[in-house]
Amino acid sequence: MLVHAQVTHPVVQFAFQYSVMLPVDAPADEAASAAPRFEVQRRMRITTVAPRLAKTHEVLFSNAQADTVAKVLMHKVLQCQADEGPHSARSLLQDWFVIMASRFHHLVGQIEYGATPHPGQARTPPNHTIASAAA
């Protein structure tokens, strides 16, 4: 019976499968006349890694690699286009940009004004655009 321990943090498990050629010892009477013999052994190594997690969204954003994020987004959009058509892919991309811009403005507001206001409490949003913030 397999019992799973309760895991409180995320883990990633990798399995590597490979083959190696190992020499085979020939019997004494064939050793002088025969060519060397080898056998193929298949091996598998499994490793489990617990990645470090970002404590705040600022740390997460500062360590994100823009080219990797763009590649993942592009693969997602192309897969959506292949599965559901160009209209769905365009909608997915537009939604992603709207959410990214919204979260960017929310983050800039938190940094500029301090903590996030309570629901119902008005706050004047900062006068920033994505283009001016990137410059």
Asked if residues 100 and 66 have their Cβ atoms less than 8 Å apart, the reply is no
pTM given for the model: 0.44
How much is the pLDDT for 15? 95
* Cross-strand bridge partners of residue 38: 23
Residue 115, pLDDT score = 54
Please tell me the predicted confidence (pLDDT) of residue 14. Answer: 92
Mean pLDDT in each 10-residue stretch from start to end of the chain (135 residues)?
65 93 78 77 94 82 86 93 94 91 79 54 49 45
> What pLDDT is recorded for position 57?
76
Q: How far apart are CA 21 and CA 13, in angstroms?
A: 26
Residue type, 77: V
pLDDT of residue 128: 47
